Structure 1
C-alpha cells in the first residue's frame, strides 16, 4: 500500500512538473481565465422568452384579474402558482420555480376606483440579473399599457398603477454578479477537460506511454496519477476566478467556501472522468483536442450560462441533466450570491456524484481494455 502511494505521488509530481514547467503552459493555464472573466463580465447578455411567475392576490377583484390576464396573454409569462403568504414566496424564488412573484394588496381595486394610485409589488430573482431585468421590463410595459387604457376608459388624471420592484440576491441587477460566479464552473471545466484529455494522448504521442507500462505502475495508479493533477489545477483556476470576482469586481461572497469547494470537487471529479474517458479513446493529441472542443460546446450551450434552461425545448432540457456544467454553475451562483448550504444543494450534488461514479470507472475500464 505504501509503495503504491509512493508511485502515485511520484507520477503526480511528474505530471505537475510537465504541465507547469513550460512558461507557455503556465500562461495558457492562468491568463485565459482572467482575460475571459473580464470580457464576459463586461459584454455578456441574455435573451428571455419564458417567465414563470407566481401571484399573491389579496384583493381578487376585477382590476387584479385584468392585470394578471394581460400578463398571461403576453405569451411570455406563465403563472405557476397562486400563493397565500410570503413564506411560500421565498420558497418559490429560492427553488427557482418562479422568476417573479407579484404581490397585490387587499385594497388594490378600491384604490384604483377612488382615483388613487395602487401599488403592484414585484419580487424578482436577481441571481440571473439580465433575465430578471428583462422580466421586470416586460412587467413595466404591461403596467404602462394598463395605465393608458384605464385613463382612456375612466378619464383618470394619474396612473392607476405604480410598480414597486424588489430584487433579491442582486439588488442593482449587475450582469457581472451573475456571470462571473458562473465562470468558476465554465472556465474551470474547459481547462480541466482539456488537460485531462491530453494527458494519456500526450504520453502516447511522445512515446513515453510504453515506458510507463513497463514500470511498476498498475493501470489504476496511472489513472489516479493522471487525474489528481487536473483536479488540483482546476481548483487553482477556480480560486483565480474567485479572486478576480472579489478583488477586481468587488462582488460580495455570501456563502461558505467549504460548501463551494465541496461542490467544485464533485464537479471536477465528474469532469476529470469525462476527460480520462476521452483521453483513453484518443490516439493523438490532435484527436484529444478535437474531442474536447466538440464536447465542450454542447456542454456550454446546455448549461444555462447564456440561455435559461427553462427557455429550451422540453426534450433538450432532459439532456441538460447529464451535463456536469449545469450543476456547477447552479452551485456557484447559489453559494456565491444566495449563501445556501449543503442542505439546499442536494439536487445539484447528487447528480455530480453520480456522474463521477459512472465516468471514472468507465474511463478506467476503457483504459484497461485499450492495454489488452
Structure 2
C-alpha cells in the first residue's frame, strides 16, 4: 500500500514542480501577500471592554471613571480588587485593558499635583492598543477641561501612563505576521489539495487512477500528503521571515507551534478535499476554495476583533479552524504559551478535522460509485 501511495505522492509533487503556473502559484503570491499584509494591513476600533482597579475609591475617582463608563467606545465589564488580577484578566482575553486609579489620586488632585492613572493594555493587538491610547488621552483632556472650568487656576492634569503586555512597543507587525502563517498555509494547501482531484477530472486522468491498483483511500492519502508538505514548507518560510526579517521575538516552543499547525492543516485539508471532490473542473474548485477562504479570514479575528462582531456571528466563528490556530500562533509567539494553556484550542481543531475528513471521504466515495 505505502509503495503505491509514495508513487502517487511523487507524481503529484512532480506535476506541481514541472508546471510553471503551479510553481508561480505556490511561490510568488504567498510571498507578495506576506509583505503586503506585513507592512500595509491596518485595523479599526469599534468597542473595547475594560476592567476597573480603583485603589482610591473616592468621589473624584468615581467622577473620572464615569468618563470611561459613559464613553460609547468603552464597555465596562467588571471591577477587580487585587493587582494580581490585572494580568490574568488581560491574558484570558476577558478585557482589552484595565484602568488603574492610584490610591493617592484624590489627595494629589486636591493638593494641586497631577493625579496618576494607568492603562494596562493588551498589546497583542497593537493597532487597537494604539487607537485606544488616543481615545484615553481625549477623555483625559475633557476631564481636565471640566476641572479647569469649575476650579480655575492651575490645572491638576491627570497623568495617564500606558503599559502594554506582550507587545510593549505596540508594533503592528508583531500582531500581523504570526497570523499570516495561518492564512498563507491555508492558501498553499488549498492550491495543491483543493485543485488536485478536480484537475484529474478535468484532464481526464481521474478514471486512469481508478483502474490502477490504488485503492480509493490510497488515492486520497496520496493527494493529501503533497499539499501537507508544501504547506509546512510555506509555514517554515513565513516563520523564518518573522524571526530574521521582521525581528519578531519568539517566546514559546517551536514544537507547540508546529503541533498546532498540523492540527490546523488536518482540519482544513478535509474541507479542501470535500470541495475538490464536488467540483468537476479546476475553476469550480478554485471558486469553492475562495468561497470558504474569505469568510474564514474575516471570522478568524485576523482583521476584526471577534468581540466586536454581533453575537450570532461570534457563535459562527467557533466553526472556523483559523480562529483557533491564530490564538495558538500569537500565543506561542508573543506570550510563550504551552500545551497546558492551549489544549482548549487543539481540541476543537481535532474535532473539526475528524468531521471534515469523514465528510470528504463520504463525498469522495460517492463520486466514485
TM-score above 0.5, yes or no: yes
Q: Which runs of 5+ in 2 are unaligned?
A: none
Task: Confirm whether residue 296 of structure 1 aligns to residue 293 of structure 2.
Answer: yes
The one of 94, 110, 128 equivalent to 1:113 is: 110
1:132-143 map, 5 Å: 132-143=129-140
The one of 162, 167, 172 equivalent to 1:170 is: 167
Match of 1:78 in 2: 75
Task: Confirm whether residue 10 of structure 1 aligns to residue 7 of structure 2.
Answer: yes
RMSD over equivalenced CA pairs, Å: 1.2
Q: Which runs of 5+ in 1 are unaligned?
A: none
Q: CA deviation at 1:304?
A: 1.1
Separation (CA, whole Å) in 2 of partners of 1:300 and 1:266? 18
Separation (CA, whole Å) in 2 of partners of 1:152 and 1:100? 30
Tell me the SS of whatever aligns to 2:249.
Answer: coil
Match of 1:250 in 2: 247
1:1-372 map, 5 Å: 4-372=1-369
Separation (CA, whole Å) in 2 of partners of 1:344 and 1:157? 50
Deviates more, 1:242-251 or 1:119-128: 242-251
Q: Alpha-carbon deviations, 1:270-294, whole Å to 9, x = none?
A: 1111000111111111110111111
Separation (CA, whole Å) in 1 of partners of 2:27 and 2:188? 10
Shift in alpha-carbon separation, 1:197–1:73, aligned structure 2, 3 A: same
Separation (CA, whole Å) in 2 of partners of 1:182 and 1:354? 22
Tell me the SS of whatever aligns to 2:112.
Answer: coil
Q: Alpha-carbon deviations, 1:5-47, whole Å to 9, x = none?
A: 2111211111111122334422321222221111112111111
Tell me the SS of whatever aligns to 1:345.
Answer: helix
Tell me the SS of whatever aligns to 2:38.
Answer: helix
Separation (CA, whole Å) in 2 of partners of 1:14 and 1:92? 52
Separation (CA, whole Å) in 1 of partners of 2:177 and 2:28? 16
Given that residues 115 and 156 in structure 1 are in contact (C-alpha distance below 8 angstroms), is that contact kept between their aligned partners in structure 2? no
Separation (CA, whole Å) in 1 of partners of 2:76 and 2:190? 40
Tell me the SS of whatever aligns to 2:117.
Answer: strand
Separation (CA, whole Å) in 1 of partners of 2:153 and 2:28? 60
Given that residues 43 and 303 in structure 2 are in contact (C-alpha distance below 8 angstroms), is that contact kept between their aligned partners in structure 1? yes
Q: Name segments (4+ residues, structure 1) moved above 4 Å.
A: none
Separation (CA, whole Å) in 2 of partners of 1:104 and 1:12? 62
Q: CA deviation at 1:257?
A: 0.7
Tell me the SS of whatever aligns to 2:94.
Answer: coil
Task: Tell me the TM-score normalised to structure 1 length.
Answer: 0.96
Separation (CA, whole Å) in 1 of partners of 2:283 and 2:30? 22
Q: Alpha-carbon deviations, 1:85-138, whole Å to 9, x = none?
A: 222111111111111011112121111111110110111111110011111211
Tell me the SS of whatever aligns to 2:68.
Answer: helix
Q: Alpha-carbon deviations, 1:281-323, whole Å to 9, x = none?
A: 1111111011111111111111111111111111111111111
Q: CA deviation at 1:156?
A: 4.4
Task: Tell me the TM-score normalised to structure 2 length.
Answer: 0.97
Q: CA deviation at 1:347?
A: 2.7
Given that residues 37 and 183 in structure 1 are in contact (C-alpha distance below 8 angstroms), is that contact kept between their aligned partners in structure 2? yes
Aligned length: 369
